[in-house]
Structures are given as C-alpha cells and as structure tokens.
C-alpha cells in the first residue's frame, strides 16, 4: 500500500532537522499500517523510522510516545522514540503529528518457530509486569463492546453469530482474571526477530489496561496459526515461554481457550465493520471469515486438551 503522505528528500530533511540526527542520505516508504505513513530513513551512521500519523490526534500520538518511553524505563525493549532538540518527543508536519524512532534491524517472520514463540511468550510476561501508566488505567478500545456489527448490517447472518459468541465470552469473564498493561495486537507482523536480543514486540498503538489473558489469547491467534488453523504445539511453546517468567493462575488456565475465541471474534468484528461498512473493500470484505473460523474451531477443542497447553 503506498504511503498516504508522499515525501521527497528535501521535505524529509526539513522534518528531521528538529531531531538533530544529521542529514538523511537515503529513505524509502515502508509498507503496512492503516493509520500511519512510515519511512525508513538512513543517515551516515544510523537508521530510523519516521512516522506521520494520518488520523490520530496530537494527544493520542503523545500518549504513544509517553508509553514507549515508559516501557524503556521499565526494561522493555521496543521502538525507541527520539526526542527533538527541545526535549519533546512530538513534532508535526502539515498539522500531522510526527514521531522519530530508532530502526529495529531484524526480520518479520510469519511462521515463527517454537523456540521463537517461547521467547515471545517470555517477552509478553515481562511486558505484563510493567506498571500501568495512570492515564491508561481502565482503558482498552477493543473490549467486549466491539463484539457487535454496524446498524446498517444488522440483518447480516454474521450478526447472529456475534450475539452468540458474545454470550459465550461473557460467561467466561471472571473477577479472578488479572488485569494489567497489554499490547492488544500481538500478531506476527508486530514482532521483530533480532539477532542480538531475540523477539522485540512493536506497534503499541492498541495498548491498554485489560485482562492479561486476552493479550495471550490474541498472541495465540496472531502467531500460532498455520493456514488459519491453531497449531497446539505452537500454543504450548508460547504459553511455556510466558510461564517461564510469570505463572498463570488456575482461573486463567481454565479461561484461556475462551479468550482465544474472544480475541479472534474481536478481530473478526473489526474486519467486518472496517471492510464492509467504514471503508468498503470488495477484495477484503470476507477477511473476517478467517477469524470467525478460528473462533469456531477453538470453541470445539476439548477443554482438557487446551488446558494441557498451560502446563509446564
């Protein structure tokens, strides 16, 4: 997908001047991201990612910068955000908020090995131990309320399925489930596999304060599927990695299966609304079916079989 904002070398150098990184000698637009325009830029000695937020407010982007610095201070490696010469983390270009981050050298790997998934799980546990920033307390935009369909499509057969899955998930919400800082969108393309430090989780734009087991469920959906089918060996590797740093409690163990279905259902609803109502796209309008199928298949897995994935 081409970038929203087409920038030339002169414009990029003007934008990054406030960050004091020197002259940009080469640049290229990066693919991906429905909310941002991203450029990789290189100076003589370092590489960076220049991010222009196309749709988010200055306040939202500033919150993201604060979260990334909060993670760094608490020992979680992610996309390190750089300050301007005025010690602010936020700049702007044609009224669009801008962040500059260090470029992470590594690979995005769709088919993550069990060893890699163990390390991803361990990284998630470290993330979940980070204190929730005060301005993020009790905030998560992809909770139970997203399990709905747009009013204009309320007569679509998907609507009845959503009502059923929502009832199923509500039956599994429990006060014994821990809450904390979560990423909220750990798919394989939000993990960079680096040579020096292993997997690094990136793109915290959907982060919030919610059930920790939801984050694990989303990571299972996003990293443990082979051709749209959950691979239980990969699930076991991810969960073992998590529990090498932080043990799941007994309630989380019994509810994990439901939260995998929850995560898949949330993603299905987002895709359904996005590509059939908000930004109709015939080429993507059935992408929700992949997540619907995952949710249905995981519900059919015997509880004992899934709970065995949580055993060390």
Residues 168-176: contacts with CB under 8 Å, at least 24 apart: 168/258, 168/261, 168/299, 169/144, 169/258, 169/261, 169/262, 169/265, 170/144, 171/258, 172/255, 172/258, 172/259, 172/262, 173/144, 174/251, 174/255, 176/249, 176/251, 176/252
Over the stretch 81-138, which tens digit does the pLDDT of each residue have?
999 998 899 999 988 999 999 999 999 999 999 999 999 999 999 999 999 999 998 8
Q: What is the arithmetic mean of pLDDT over 243-255? A: 95
Check whether 75 has a pLDDT greater than 80. Answer: yes
pTM > 0.95: yes or no: no
Contact (CB, 8 A) for 30 and 42 = no
Over the stretch 12-70, which tens digit does the pLDDT of each residue have?
999 999 999 999 999 999 876 567 899 999 999 999 999 999 888 899 999 999 999 99
Q: Is 30 helix (H, G, I), strand (E, B) or coil?
A: coil
Mean pLDDT for all residues in the chain: 93
CATH architecture of 114-310: Alpha-Beta Complex (3.90)
Contact (CB, 8 A) for 264 and 221 = yes
Check whether 235 has a pLDDT greater than 80. Answer: yes
Band of the pLDDT at 1, cuts 50, 70, 90? very low
Exposed, middle or buried, 54 (CB in 10 Å: 0-12/13-18/19+)? middle
Over the stretch 56-74, which tens digit does the pLDDT of each residue have?
889 999 999 999 999 999 9
Over the stretch 253-278, which tens digit does the pLDDT of each residue have?
999 999 999 999 999 999 999 999 99
> pLDDT value at position 170?
96
Parse the chain into domains and list their residue ranges. Answer: 9-102, 114-310
Q: Which residue is listed with tokens 């908020």?
A: 97
Which residues does 269 contact at the CB level (< 8 Å), separation at least 6? Answer: 146, 147, 148, 149, 162, 288
CATH architecture of 9-102: 2-Layer Sandwich (3.30)
Degrees to nearest 5, angle at CA 226 with 185 and 33: 35
């Amino acid at each position: 997908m081409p970038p929203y904002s087409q920038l030339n070398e002169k414009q990029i150098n003007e934008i990054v001047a406030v960050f004091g990184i020197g002259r940009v000698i080469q640049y290229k637009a990066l693919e991906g991201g429905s909310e941002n325009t991203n450029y990789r830029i290189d100076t003589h000695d370092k590489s960076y990612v220049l991010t222009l937020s196309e749709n988010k407010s200055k306040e939202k982007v500033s919150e993201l910068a604060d979260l990334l610095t909060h993670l760094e201070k608490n020992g979680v490696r992610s996309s390190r955000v750089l300050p301007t010469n005025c010690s602010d983390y936020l700049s702007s270009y044609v009224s669009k908020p801008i962040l500059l981050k260090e470029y992470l050298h590594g690979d995005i790997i769709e088919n993550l090995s069990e060893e890699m998934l163990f390390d991803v799980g361990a990284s998630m546990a470290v993330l979940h131990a980070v204190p929730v920033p005060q301005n993020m307390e009790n905030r998560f935009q992809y909770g139970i309320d997203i399990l709905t369909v747009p009013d204009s499509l309320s007569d679509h057969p998907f609507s009845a399925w959503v009502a059923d899955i929502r009832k199923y998930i509500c039956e599994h919400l429990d006060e014994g489930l821990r809450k904390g800082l979560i990423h909220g969108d750990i798919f394989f393309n939000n993990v960079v596999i680096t040579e020096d430090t292993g997997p690094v989780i990136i793109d915290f734009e959907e982060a919030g304060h919610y059930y920790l087991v939801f984050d694990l469920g989303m990571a299972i959906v996003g990293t443990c599927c082979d051709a749209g089918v959950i691979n239980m060996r990969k699930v076991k590797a991810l969960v073992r990695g998590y529990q090498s740093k932080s043990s799941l409690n007994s309630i989380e163990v019994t509810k994990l299966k439901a939260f995998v279905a929850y995560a898949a259902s949330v993603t299905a609803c987002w895709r359904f609304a996005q590509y059939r109502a908000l930004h109709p796209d015939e080429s993507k309008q059935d992408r929700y079916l992949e997540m619907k199928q995952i949710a249905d298949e995981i519900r059919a897995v015997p509880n004992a079989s899934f709970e065995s994935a949580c055993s060390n």
